[in-house]
Amino acid sequence: MTSTSTSHFKQRRLLAACAAALLAGASLPAVSQTAWPTKPIRLVVGFAPGGGTDVMARALAQALTESLGQPVIVDNKPGASGNMSAAEVGRAAADGYTILVAPTSVETANPYLFKSNVLPSRDLTPVMGIGRMQMYVVAKPTIEAKNIKDLVALAKTQPGKLNYASSGTGTPPHLAGELFKQSTGTYITHVPYRGSAPALQDVMAGQADFAFDPGIAFPHIKAGKVKLLGVASDRKSPFFPDAPTYADLGIKNASLDIWFGVWAPNNLPADVTERLSRELTKALAAPALKERFNSLGAEPAPLAQPEFRKLLAEEDKTPVDPHQGPQDRSRVTEQHIDAK
């Protein structure tokens, strides 16, 4: 080999090595160019103020404001059962300053229930799970039922006359209501609202007969403003241990607990993701935040990103179908909960 060809050969090897290095670098996670955070952070919530997701987000916002040294602000964007908020976060810059707090149904149920341009499993990145809660069957004080068994009997004697309020079409309280109807063979009218808080307000006012409440009714139960008929779950409630569960009453395939999590725009820098996850995990371990979650029937339950992705995949195994799908989803979710 001549000196010229040797030189060319070395140049080609050098170029190949540089190209390989560039390709390897392109596959590495992005890293933020400046320390994060340097300005206020928005936690976007797709439901009205006062509901379970909103209260959780505000508790986290307070804790994160203290630990990150920057204001963390809750921004309510209700509509389409969380789809509007998911779309807004999906369009945001991937810089860690716009974050979504939502129930897992925004990714695992909404795509099957709504025609929308947003697809959270494609347009957002799950960061971590933050908590779970059971739902409670609460009714207006004047209803002629003392428990869930009485409610079923009442519904069967008055087909179509009773109604239940939910936080919106496709939300966990709505899915819980449809599961209840399927499992008990009852015909009850669904009335969707723009969040759990307004739904509960109409139950207290007697405008709606009952609701599947995610825990925000606790103080109103104790004050006698709504009647607790039972727990919409197979598990006993740690907050109302004497309340009958579906398992106690022999109601099968209707249990549906709610998981909540945090999502970010795709391509969030790796160091921002790690810092956000670390601060969220620390916040969820604080006694004050646990007390705030417990006050609305929620339990802090941090799930790291791999575990959270697994939960979402399990919930998404069966598409939501108005007549069949949610039953399979509830069983998968309960299996995951019981394993924790």
* Residue 21 confidence class, pLDDT cut points 50, 70, 90: very low
Predicted local distance difference test score (pLDDT) of residue 173: 93
User: Helices (DSSP H) in 79-124: which residue ranges?
Assistant: 83-91, 105-108, 110-113, 120-123
DSSP for residue 245: B
pLDDT above 60: residue 8: no
Q: How far apart are CA 97 and CA 37, in angstroms?
A: 8
Predicted local distance difference test score (pLDDT) of residue 297: 84
| DSSP class per residue in 281-309 | HHHHTSHHHHHHHHTTTEEEEEE-HHHHH
Domains of the chain: 41-132+257-339 (3.40.190.150), 136-249 (3.40.190.10)
Segment 95-112, tens digit of pLDDT: 999 999 999 999 988 888
Instruction: Using DSSP bridges, classify how beta strands 258-265 and 124-133 pair: parallel, antiparallel or unpaired.
Output: antiparallel
Q: How far is CA 150 from CA 153, 180, 255, in A?
A: 5, 14, 18
* Residue 180 confidence class, pLDDT cut points 50, 70, 90: very high
Predicted local distance difference test score (pLDDT) of residue 104: 94
Q: How far is CA 225 from the centre of its chain?
A: 27
Q: How far apart are CA 100 and CA 120, in angstroms?
A: 11
Q: Which residue would you say has higher pLDDT here, 31 or 187? A: 187
Instruction: Give me 263's structure tokens.
Output: 């999502």
Q: How far is CA 114 from the centre of its chain?
A: 17
Name which of 23-37, 70-84, 159-173, 255-269 the model is least confident about.
Answer: 23-37
Q: Which residue would you say has higher pLDDT here, 302 or 27? A: 302
* Residue 27 confidence class, pLDDT cut points 50, 70, 90: very low
Mean pLDDT value of segment 131-153: 96
Q: How far apart are CA 140 and CA 45, in angstroms?
A: 28
Contact present, 141 and 226 (Cβ < 8 Å): yes
pTM confidence score = 0.75
Neighbours of 138 (CB within 10 A): 27
List the beta strands (DSSP E) in the chain: 41-45, 72-76, 98-103, 124-133, 136-139, 163-166, 189-192, 210-213, 227-231, 258-265, 298-303
Segment 219-257, tens digit of pLDDT: 999 999 999 999 999 999 999 999 999 999 999 999 988
